[in-house]
Amino acid sequence: MSDPARERRPSNQPLLRVENLRIEIPNRRGTLVAVDDVSFHISEGEVLGVVGESGAGKSLTGSAVIGLLEPPCHIAGGTIHLDGRRVDNLPYEQMRRIRGREIGMVFQDPLTSLNPLYTVGRQLTETILTHTDLGEKAARQRAIDLLQEVGIPAAAERIDHYPHQFSGGMRQRVVIALALCINPRLIIADEPTTALDVSIQAQIIALLKRLCREHGAAVMLVTHDMGVIAETADRVAVMYAGRIVEIGPVADVVLRAQHPYTAGLMGSIPLVGHDVEDLAQIDGAMPRLNAIPRGCAFNPRCPRAFDRCRRERPDLQPVGATQAACWLYDEPAAGRSGTHG
């Protein structure tokens, strides 16, 4: 069945567009800026990976997109457009309907997404009945079809089982089925493989990629695992201290990282077939929100920082196939950087 809304949108317009997003957290001592001037877009059928250490602001960005920021966190600036419509300023009930019909969510712990008191079939069919015109029998059959699609064996029998009767990997498959049951245009996947062992992670990654292509959905994949990004994403946005420091096609970012922080992340990943004595590491830790340094937030940890990095904050600028927020690629700075390595 065709979707008129999908047909109306010009093919060159991204499905999701986030511009200059700013998220603030007021407290007794003032206001903390958790996400600062973040912009990106995702097209239909595309997976954008958002990666960074804990505290980088990636999960908050995903929560802002789906309208689930927990107070006192709030959007203090910027805009979020879904399918050409602005959604960041909608009333709660209106945004809740969009979440149900157009945005699917896959979270790290499937038990937080599934009600332990209801069978998975009841949870799937109630969601389908709420957001479609299908009757009870058709909704149940669609739920069975979805469970089969995400790889649940004997789906016609397992549909009447409770969440605790499934393994962790199978529960995550059920959550993906739940996210897909209303044919969402956008899927927000927040650390969907973190709690799973490596072999199950690979299966879930392959499943997400396949379903994204077959359903034409856009996916925002939030994770701290650069390996998952390399396997899954088309493009990647690297976040640090609330800002995007590099964004571009995944192969270019992984193989030719331009920002020193991205290079450090990539250097910490062991490569199959490469014997190394020690993996690279980034000294220090992500700054607290109340102690973000002046200039480039990464400068205290950066082996290539020079004076300008400590005084002025860089914006994203084109560097080859990617964009990087780094003064190394500003022409006057580049001329001097060799003396400050």
pLDDT score of 269: 65
Mean pLDDT over 268-293 rounds to 74
Element containing residue 214 per DSSP (H, E): helix 198-215
Structural element, H or E, at residue 339: none
Average pLDDT of every residue of the chain? 88
The whole model's pTM is what? 0.87
N residues, the chain: 341
CB 34 within 8 A of CB 24: yes
Q: Is 129 exposed, middle or buried (0-12, 13-18, 19+ CB in 10 A)?
A: middle
CA dist 173 and 28 (Å) reads: 42
Over the stretch 73-131, which tens digit does the pLDDT of each residue have?
A: 999 999 999 999 999 999 999 998 898 789 988 887 777 789 999 999 999 999 999 88
CA separation for the pair 246, 232 (Å, rounded): 18
CA-nearest of 224, 255, 256, 219 to 238 is 224
In this predicted model, what pLDDT tens digit does every residue of 31-87 receive, in sequence order?
Answer: 999 999 999 999 999 999 999 988 999 999 999 999 999 999 999 999 999 999 999
